[in-house]
Amino acid sequence: MVRIRICPRCKEPNLRNAVNVSGWLAPDLYECSCGYIGRFFVEIDTEDYKLDEEELSKE
């Protein structure tokens, strides 16, 4: 079982460590391509993520 971190806003696995204004890595902060930035992330296993994608494709 592989666990991944997804963005709590867009639910995409696009999170990466944020870099603060002085160019240093901010290990407590994550940023996402949707513009989300914060300390929170959602960690799920990849099987759950695949289930979510199937649910979305039904709509």
Binding site for Zn ion (CB under 5 A): 7, 9-10, 32, 34, 36
Cβ closest to Zn ion, residue 27 vs residue 35 = 35
Q: Where are the beta strands (DSSP E) in the chain?
A: 3-6, 16-19, 25-31, 37-38, 42-45
Cβ closest to Zn ion, residue 5 vs residue 9 = 9
Question: Least distance in Å: CB of 53 to Zn ion?
Answer: 15
Question: Least distance in Å: CB of 13 to Zn ion?
Answer: 9
Interacting residues of 1 by C-beta distance below 8 A, sequence separation 6+: 45, 46, 47
